[in-house]
A and B are shown apart, each in its own frame.
Chain A
């Protein structure tokens, strides 16, 4: 059975695209045939993070409009045999995504793929609603910061009332919290909400905590999903999250401050 997973947040810039790319790649590395779909119509970016921007010919909207078929639009990842990208279109037409059209494309993808990852745009407009409508699982990407947490709660409300599962009174969408850009040292000094704080407020199960990491910028600079950088803290944290998504139970890593030597504390890091 194909699982449709939406990576969503409400608030912009919290790490949805970074996480979609990492999670899709992680699932594919584990041997699951996976496609990651960019729902950010007009602001395509997933192709850059996946490093396939020069291979985009047709896009999601072309497929919906019947101007191309799926095989023409899907981009096969060069690193990972089980991984495909369906890029967003750069059209400014807000109504390019229709429930009927998106549903048809997802149905077609479901014939071939085990996992369909939907990279949602920010906000609560059409694009974001289309990305979450068909979801079986939602990964609510949140930064430990007031506006992001509030927006995540609003998105949870949408998942519970506006998704297909809600509308048809099916089993509800499975919601998971992915806390990103976490900075343990700032939590220690009382400047940042802790994992426990955010978990308590949003009251959904935690799938992972991704530390604030320089590896993320390095990865996006080179167009390689950060999960491929297994030396990095963020890469490892994303791997753990993928394993948890697949049902493994793993302890959290990178959530406590690294003990710094006395000299490092004096001279700074």
Chain B
């Protein structure tokens, strides 16, 4: 590290923290899908299509997630960000 870098590094934003936060979200998501039944991706796609028939949204405004709370109970969580009424 040169003298210049040495002083610059004091102000550098900590991108490792951002990386960690992003990874925690994506990995939690991945793990949710991992335990999901085989029909899940298809069902998720169809649910999104149905919503799109009625409301104008992008696919990334819908989150369909399966949470395994314990052995006996799993929860299907559906989150839709509806567009503001014009």
Once A154-B30, A266-B3, A268-B2 are accepted as A-B contacts, the answer to whether A194 and B23 lie under 8 Å apart by CB is no
Establish whether residues A157 and B23, one from each chain, have CB atoms under 8 Å apart when the complex forms. Answer: no
Scoring B residues 1 to 27 as 1 if CB is less than 8 Å from chain A, else 0, what string do you get? 111011001001111110110111011
Specify which chain B residues have a CB less than 8 angstroms from the CB of A190 in the assembled complex: 12-17
The interface residues of chain A, by DSSP majority, are classed as: helix
Specify which chain A residues have a CB less than 8 angstroms from the CB of B24 in the assembled complex: 201
B34 within 8 Å of A (CB atoms): yes
Scoring A residues 191 to 221 as 1 if CB is less than 8 Å from chain B, else 0, what string do you get? 1111001001110000000000000000000
Specify which chain A residues have a CB less than 8 angstroms from the CB of B23 in the assembled complex: 146, 149-150, 193, 201
Question: When chains A and B are docked, how far (Å) is the Cα of A189 from the Cα of B3?
Answer: 14
Scoring A residues 115 to 147 as 1 if CB is less than 8 Å from chain B, else 0, what string do you get? 000000000000000000000000000000110
A77 within 8 Å of B (CB atoms): no
B68 to nearest A CB, angstroms?
14
Once A190-B13, A265-B3 are accepted as A-B contacts, the answer to whether A153 and B27 lie under 8 Å apart by CB is yes
Scoring B residues 23 to 62 as 1 if CB is less than 8 Å from chain A, else 0, what string do you get? 1101100110010000000000000000000000000000
Specify which chain B residues have a CB less than 8 angstroms from the CB of A201 in the assembled complex: 20, 23-24, 27
A230 within 8 Å of B (CB atoms): no
Scoring A residues 153 to 173 as 1 if CB is less than 8 Å from chain B, else 0, what string do you get? 110010011000000000000
Contact-residue bracket for chain A: 20 to 34
B12 to nearest A CB, angstroms?
6
Question: When chains A and B are docked, how far (Å) is the Cα of A190 from the Cα of B17?
Answer: 7
Most buried by B among A153, A160, A194, A202: A153
Closest to A189 in B: B9
Question: When chains A and B are docked, how far (Å) is the Cα of A201 from the Cα of B23?
Answer: 7
A185 within 8 Å of B (CB atoms): yes
Establish whether residues A266 and B2, one from each chain, have CB atoms under 8 Å apart when the complex forms. Answer: yes
Closest to B14 in A: A190
Establish whether residues A150 and B20, one from each chain, have CB atoms under 8 Å apart when the complex forms. Answer: no
Scoring A residues 236 to 269 as 1 if CB is less than 8 Å from chain B, else 0, what string do you get? 0000000000000000000000001000011111
Specify which chain B residues have a CB less than 8 angstroms from the CB of A145 in the assembled complex: 19
Specify which chain A residues have a CB less than 8 angstroms from the CB of B19 in the assembled complex: 145-146, 193, 197
Among A160, A161, A193, A267, the residue within 8 A (CB) of B16 is A193
Question: When chains A and B are docked, how far (Å) is the Cα of A157 from the Cα of B20?
Answer: 19
Question: When chains A and B are docked, how far (Å) is the Cα of A267 from the Cα of B1?
Answer: 8
Chain B positions within 8 Å of A, measured between CB atoms, are: 1-3, 5-6, 9, 12-17, 19-20, 22-24, 26-27, 30-31, 34
The 5 closest A-B pairs by CB, nearest first: A190-B14, A268-B2, A157-B34, A266-B3, A189-B9
